[in-house]
Structure 1
Amino acid sequence: MGHLITLATSLNQWALDFEGNLERILASIAIAKERGATLRVGPELEIPGYGCLDHFLEGDTVLHSWEVLAKILDSEEAQGIVCDVGMPVVHKNVIYNCRIIIHNRQILLIRPKMWLANDGNYRELRYFTPWTKHRQWEDHYLPRIIQQVTGQIKVTFGDAVISTQDTCIGVELCEELFTPASPHILMGLDGVEIFTNSSGSHHELRKLYTRVELIKEATLKLGGIYLYANQQGCDGDRLYYDGCAMIAVNGRIVAQGSQFSLNDVEVVSATVDIEDVRAHRAKSSRSMQAASAERYHRVEVPFALTSGEFSVVREEDMFGLLSGSRPFEVRYHKPEEEIALGPACWLWDYLRRSGTQGYFVPLSGGIDSCATAVIVYSMSRLVAEAARRGDKQEFTGRIFHTCYMGTENSSADTRKRAKGLAGAIGSYHVDLNMDSVVTAVRTLFTFVTNKTPQFTGSGAENLALQNIQARLRMVLAYMFAQLLPWVRGKEGGLLVLGSANVDESLRGYLTKYDCSSADINPIGGISKTDLKKFIAYAEDSFELPILGSFLNAVPTAELQPITKDYVQSDEADMGMTYDELSVFGRLRKVEKSGPYSMFTKLVREWGSILSPEQIAGKVKFFFTQHARNRHKMTTLTPAYHAESYSPDDNRFDLRPFLYPSHFPWQYKKIDEKVARLQASASPKV
């Protein structure tokens, strides 16, 4: 009976950072060896970074990946351990997303990905071709820089497995776990006992549970050891890869890494007994299916992963040996915790990699800019705790700058809340009135046209006067972001943070190129509903009682004059509530509903409280406003992706931005359905 220490890694790789990525890979291998491991698995495309996008089409990216692999092969760290590393490989002039299995300066197998992720945020088919020759392999001729290290001319390339003296290892790549006919099933029936999965899976609120359940299910019926490695951190785009490396044995999670972390390298390990897998598989029905399974080509290697003898094992790695006597509970963060941690880690990666002095946020006194500021404070808390020294507020004051840009339409309450929040979190705060700037622009318009727009005039005048204020705030924000470090005797500039939530973006309730236009936006993929829950959570968890006043405040843009009879309200201006917007967004994007199918679904959901005519009015109003404002979504600030119904036009939500905004065919069909429903509900005389 032999014991095997297995492990998976989470690495904070950066697209095209070949030198940094190499250092992190070698560090993870070194940690694995220190723990006595004989197999190390890393995240998907870890050598160049997962998020290279169109750089994958450049020959340089492939060349530099081979150069890094040569250094890994020749390193002392990579000797005496099997390593599963990822990079693009060109085979017969076709680019594949590959895993390369190495051991003692030899390449054992190049395994190309067979099922590619090509929806939502992923466009793998744009760069790579899937390997469609299932259970087939070919010779791959190695570049000379690799031949000089390994002495090999060619190696096995394709859908094959590694057969050691004591077990069998198979590879599954990210999306392949999520497909209905996952490769691990057929591999397991053919005797593969250890499955590796190298992933580039991004964070989305409430998403982790699905991933965990799929990993558990992969070996519950089949039996086996499943090693899941994932990228962790922001590698240069809107996504945050949320780590959570895991090891599962026979349907049970035995080790789990952190989901959110500031660490560049994290290694998760566990000690398991291969005999547990064989005992789990000793079932008659499984044996009957396995006896008729199609054969995989085996790359046979003359070494074993196990020592064949009992050895001293770290206590924290002993889950697999305890046969359930110490149950392991998977850690799930509540959505409000995910908001506190995910965007904060994303912001930290942006800050340290951009080389800027810090962040700047225009504080309006409302809950959205409040949430943005508290997320930056959460980042400061994480950094201070990771450093195990220093004061959170002192660090916040160095890197975080806030500003209240008031006008004659601003209230004393919002100014007070903004100042109170800045003081509570320790940001460097500036308070100003911008009426003179607004007046100057208004005066210029009057001088040129001999017309003076008024809030009490036409709708066009009112809207233009609101937009002047919003756009001038964006201009002032960038001026202060560039010069505040200079004012404080420092060099460099600040990144401007946006604070438009996903629901406002979906509705188009923002001025194009106003203060929603920024460098990056940590809350642009988060709903108003979730932001409120986050603020309530942070009020207690971060000991910020000031946040209670933001929760009770009515959301308002404060761009129109306040009178004794009127205070501007976001939901009144939008013509719908934030909760309704969340429902519309999910039906439109997640459930792929057009106007008519959305109406029919909402009749079932809302029919007990609203009439068909009322529901039809809400649906038509939403689609008309969404269509009219689609052009705004093409210019949305790059935002942290956190919600499945994000309207981000960059890659996630690809739709036209010039619409027949009254949808005549669709709305006519809705009206006909309303008439039939009303007729059927009318009492018969």
Structure 2
Amino acid sequence: MGHLVTLATCSLNQWALDFEGNCERIIESIRKAKAAGATLRVGPELEITGYGCLDAFLEGDTYLHSWEMFARIIDHPDCQDIVVDVGMPVRHRDCKWNCRVIFYNRKIILIRPKMWLANDGNYREMRHFTPWQRPREVEDYYLEQIVGKITGQYKVPFGDALISTRDTCLGLETCEELFTPNGPHIPYGLAGVEIFSNSSGSHHELRKLDTRINLITQATKLSGGIYLYANQQGCDGDRLYYDGCAMIVVNGNIVAQGSQFSLNDVEVVTATVDIEEVRTYRSSASRGMQASMQSPYVRLDLDTRLSRRDEDADPGYAPSETLKPRYHVPEEEIALGPACWLWDYLRRSGAAGYFIPLSGGIDSCATSIIVHSMCREVVKAVQEGNEQVIKDVRRLCAEPADSTWLPTTSQEVCNRIFHTSYMGTQNSSKETRDRAKVLAAEIGAYHTDFNFDTVITAMMNVFTIVTNFQPKFKVHGGTRAENQALQNIQARLRMVLSYLFASLLPTVRQRPGGGGLLVLGSSNVDECLRGYLTKYDASSADLNPIGSISKVDLKKFIAWARDSFDLPILDDFLTATPTAELEPITATYVQSDEADMGVTYAELSVFGYLRKVAKLGPWSMYERLLHMWGNEYSPREIYEKTRHFFYNYSINRHKMTVLTPSYHAEQYSPEDNRHDLRQFLYPSFSWAYKKMEDSVQYWESKGWTTGKAQKKSVKAD
């Protein structure tokens, strides 16, 4: 029957610095793994502390409490007779390390520090940890007394080593190490490792899961092996949503895959695999030649078997079957990722619900549909008997006297925790007001509708009395500065009114708990990139679920939600012209977002990708766009668009310093707090612009002057 072994990995909804809660979830996952017959359990990266502790990793308390929780885990009766791999921070030689601690029956086998740290984009591990730079080396770690008195150990191995059981060999990777060109799994496999584990703290980005699965399947397809991937799942207390999807892969084939988006706090994924399949897979001569040259690793002996003994053979005990990878389309990712993030944030924050100024435009519509999706997921989890969700939804939604209440529809949940408001002015249209009202009714939100022109008039009267100056909109003959000021006062007053309503609506409705509402923003990533928002306006909020999602993706999401959620009103949002409705509507003029910006949303997505992901400055971007857009625009048009983008990007960069914390979903997010660190006072890109102007003159001298000209017809010297 070969060497059959049942292995377990998991996704845990950990919360940064929630030591006791994290510990309970770890123990529950071990309990579930044992119940499934597993002999090895792998958990997420830094699962004892939660991944997102950031500068709390610089504090001694974090390390003390980690060992206190580890002592509770290793001594727990449910954590015996199974090999356990736990992620936690460790201080050693006065350095801080991101570690995996492997134990079995109250004995620590190895503390394995992370070798390659994630230190770009959303990650700053080099700020908090030291990488282990000595492959294949091990030294002594002198154990904390609180753990040593349980294990009876004074010192334990610390470093890069393998663990040999009686029947196989185990090697460990941690998150980023899988993504490096020469990951540890390569020499590990050549050194005889048959089971690889990876503890990860990997966040969700649109379309990112495909990359992760490709890396894992390719790693084991090349060298053979059994790969256990564990990940955190949920909101850790920050902008990121960790999207789970724990999986087990054998020789390039997925045999178990967990959920990517879930409200479960503990999800354990198990599979039964045959170690002999790895040995057979590795029979090629070329692999043997490379393996013979691999430098040896320290092997730590663990006197147990992971596979079943022959005398325990069961005819019904067989390897798990191969599965096709499960992916969500991007529209589903937008529906589920931010929704799960919002639910975690709400249930842990103590707030009574959410509030949003619902303008009748597509952005606030998309944010509201994400909340609707959240409510749908909550009802689904209730119907599946999820005890934690049932407890949370009763606390948030039920009347104090009704301890048995449970929702049967998403609208029931939505009505109790989601509040929308149409804040109109004389510049608002009947169409946007009606769209907002119908959408709120269909998803079940508690909706208010009012005009606040009297507030605007009162503010402007103060200015006029002080200055003896009456500003006018541009359609009435005003200057650009006057026009902008009159728009901004409307936008900023909406922010003030939003927080007023968010503070008092639960009191007005006599909702339980006494907490206020969290205000949701609805500026998409392209508007943030372009700076097409007013500082401290309705974009200033507590959270922004769509702040890292492009307008192009949001439109696709709304079209998907129209059909998947049966919301025909969304058609009206899709066909409406995007407008801020901050200027008067006349017979010849209706304000348009794209006209105001001087660039389309589709073009902004391209600029954003080239700026951040492709890492191109103005000159390099112009050169790239000559190839990308040369059949559509002339060199001069491309130059003008590039210059227009960088001018507006740079003068509005200061707005990103106060940007509402946004759900992270897109690689080109301009979010300033951590993801995209740049100055907010820019000089003119004068040298780059001169180079572009010279290039334009050159191409025009060669006859490339029209947008539709084919580049191949223009000959360069």
TM-score between the two structures when normalised by the length of structure 1: 0.98
Partner of 1:302: 303
Shift of 1:546: 0.7
- Map 1:479-498 to 2 at 5 A: 479-490=500-511, 491-498=514-521
1:257: which partner in 2?
258
Say whether the 8 Å CA contact 2:367–2:545 is kept in structure 1. yes
Q: Aligned ranges for residues 425-504 of structure 1 at < 5 Å?
A: 425-455=443-473, 456=476, 457-490=478-511, 491-504=514-527
1:195-206 matches, within 5 Å, as 195-206=196-207
Q: How does 1:311-460 map to 2 (within 5 A)?
A: 320-322=319-321, 327-388=322-383, 389-455=407-473, 456=476, 457-460=478-481
Deviation at 1:221, TM superposition (A): 1.5
- The separation in 2 between residues aligned to 1:204 and 1:639, in whole angstroms, is 13
Match of 2:148 in 1: 147
Residue 14 of structure 1 aligns with which residue?
A: 15
Q: CA deviation at 1:309?
A: 2.8
- Code of the aligned partner of 2:589: Y
> What residue is the counterpart of 1:276 in the other structure?
277
Matches of 2:154 and 2:559, distance apart in 1: 62
Pick the aligned partner of 2:557 from 501, 519, 534. 534
Which of 700, 703, 706 is the matching residue for 1:681? Answer: 703
In structure 1, C-alpha distance between the alignment counterparts of 2:624 and 2:121, rounded to whole Å: 23
Q: 1:314 to 1:267 in 2, by over 3 A?
A: farther
Pair 441,160 (structure 1): closer, same or farther in 2 beyond 3 Å? same
Give the alignment of 1:183-262 within 5 angstroms. Answer: 183-262=184-263
- The residue identity in structure 2 corresponding to 1:434 is F
**In the aligned structure 1, how far is the partner of 2:340 from the partner of 2:670?**
23
CA deviations over 1:91-113 (Å, ceiling 9, x no partner): 11110000000100010000000
Separation of aligned partners in 1, 2:272 and 2:313: 10
Work out the CA distance in 2 between the residues paired with 1:485 and 1:668.
Answer: 58
Q: How does 1:49-60 map onto structure 2 within 5 Å?
A: 49-60=50-61
SS at match of 1:217: helix
- Which one-letter code corresponds to 2:54 in the other structure? L
> 1:643-682 maps to which residues of 2 (within 5 A)?
643-660=666-683, 662-681=684-703
SS of 2:280's equivalent in the other structure is: helix
Match for residue 517 of structure 1 among 540, 551, 557: 540
Question: Deviation string for 1:492-549 (max 9, x for gaps)?
Answer: 1000000000000000000000000000000000000000000000001111111110
| 3-state secondary structure, aligned to 1:236 | coil
**Residues 449 and 314 (structure 1 numbering): CA distance in 2 closer, same or farther, change over 3 Å?**
farther
Q: Which residue number corresponds to residue 575 of structure 1?
A: 598
Alpha-carbon distance in 2 for matches of 1:133, 1:480: 58
What is the one-letter code of the residue matched to 2:142?
A: Y
- Provide closer, same or farther for how the CA distance between residues 643 and 312 of structure 1 changes in structure 2, counting only shifts above 3 A: farther
SS at match of 1:221: helix
* Amino acid paired to 1:103: Y
The CA deviation at 1:11 is 0.2
Q: Give 2:448's aligned amino acid.
A: V
> 1:313, CA displacement in angstroms?
8.0
Does structure 1 residue 615 correspond to structure 2 residue 633?
Answer: no
Give the Cα–Cα distance (whole angstroms) in 1 for the partners of residues 56 and 589 of structure 2. 53
**Which amino acid in 1 is paired with 2:179?**
F
Does residue 633 in structure 1 map to residue 656 in structure 2? yes
In the alignment, the residues of structure 2 paired with residue 310 and residue 172 of structure 1 have an alpha-carbon distance, to the nearest angstrom, of: 33
* Aligned mates of 1:311, 1:250 — CA distance in 2: 26
8 Å CA contact 1:3, 1:309 repeated in 2: no
Tell me by how many angstroms 1:321 deviates: 4.7
Contact 2:343 2:374 in 1 (8 A): yes
**How many percent of aligned residue pairs carry the same amino acid?**
65
Q: Shift in Å at residue 454 of structure 1? A: 1.1
Matched, 1:596 2:619: yes
The Cα shift of 1:291 comes to 1.5
Counterpart CA distance in 1 for 2:378 and 2:24 is: 22
- 1:306 partner SS: coil
Q: Output the CA distance in 2 between the equivalents of 1:154 and 1:434.
A: 70
Paired amino acid for 1:481: A
1:185-209 Cα shifts (integer Å, max 9, x gaps): 1111111110000000000001110
Give me the whole-angstrom Cα distance separating, in 2, the residues matched to 1:635 and 1:310.
66
- Measured in 2, the distance between the counterparts of 1:7 and 1:249 equals 13
2: CA distance, partners of 1:578 / 1:92: 52
Letter in 2 for 1:534: F
Check the 8 A contact 2:428/2:582 in 1, yes or no. Answer: yes
| Shift in CA distance, 217/579, structure 1 to aligned 2, threshold 3 Å | same
Distance 1:363 1:138 in 2: 60
Could you tell me which of 584, 588, 591 is aligned with 1:565?
A: 588
TM-score, normalised to structure 2, is: 0.93
Query: In the superposition, relative to structure 1, how do residues 488 and 312 fare at CA in structure 2: closer, same or farther (>3 Å)?
Result: farther
**1:311 Cα deviation from its structure 2 partner:** 5.7
Contact 1:161 1:299 in 2 (8 A): yes
CA distance, structure 1, for counterparts of residue 309 and residue 286 of structure 2: 30
- 1:271–1:313 Cα contact (<8 Å) kept: no
Hey, what's the Cα distance between the residues in 2 that align with 1:255 and 1:222? 20
Pairwise CA distance, 1:458: 1.2
Asked if 2 retains the 8 angstrom alpha-carbon contact of 1:172 and 1:183, the reply is: yes
**One-letter identity of the residue aligned with 1:612:** P
Contact 1:51 1:237 in 2 (8 A): yes
Q: Secondary structure at the match of 1:176?
A: helix
Whether the 8 Å contact between 2:86 and 2:101 is mirrored in structure 1 is yes
Distance in 2 (alpha carbons) for counterparts of 1:610 and 1:163: 63
Aligned 8 A contact 2:99 2:112 in 1: yes
Q: Structure 1: state its 5+ residue gaps.
A: none
- State the 1:553 CA deviation: 0.3
Stretches of 4+ moved more than 6 A in 1?
312-315
- C-alpha displacement of 1:312: 7.9
Are the counterparts in 2 of residues 630 and 657 from structure 1 also a CA contact under 8 Å?
A: yes
Does the Cα contact within 8 Å between 1:203 and 1:342 map onto a contact in 2? yes
Asked if the contact 2:255/2:320 (under 8 Å) is kept, the reply is: no
SS at match of 2:223: coil
Q: Is the 8 A contact 1:204 1:643 kept in 2?
A: yes
State the 1:314 CA deviation.
12
Q: Cα–Cα, structure 1 residues 431 and 131, in superposed 2: closer, same or farther, change >3 Å?
A: same
Who is 2:710 aligned against?
A: none
Counterpart amino acid of 1:232?
Answer: Q
Partner of 2:398: none
Rounded to whole Å, the distance in 2 between the matches of 1:105 and 1:313 is: 29
Deviations 1:189-235 (A, max 9, x none): 11111000000000000111010000001111111100000010010
Deviation at 1:310, TM superposition (A): 7.6
Distance change (3 Å), C-alpha of 1:489 and 1:321: closer
Q: Is the 8 A contact 2:165 2:303 kept in 1?
A: yes
Residue number in structure 1 paired with 2:709: none
Structure 2 SS opposite 1:500: coil
Structure 2 unaligned spans of 5+? 384-406, 705-713
Deviation digits for residues 452-482 of structure 1, max 9, x if unmatched? 1111311111100100000000000000000
Change (3 A) 1:321 1:242: closer
Q: Give the counterpart letter for 2:612 in structure 1.
A: K
Q: Does structure 1 retain, via aligned residues, the 8 Å contact 2:107–2:151?
A: yes
Residue 84 of structure 2 aligns to a residue whose secondary structure is strand
Counterpart code for 1:42: G
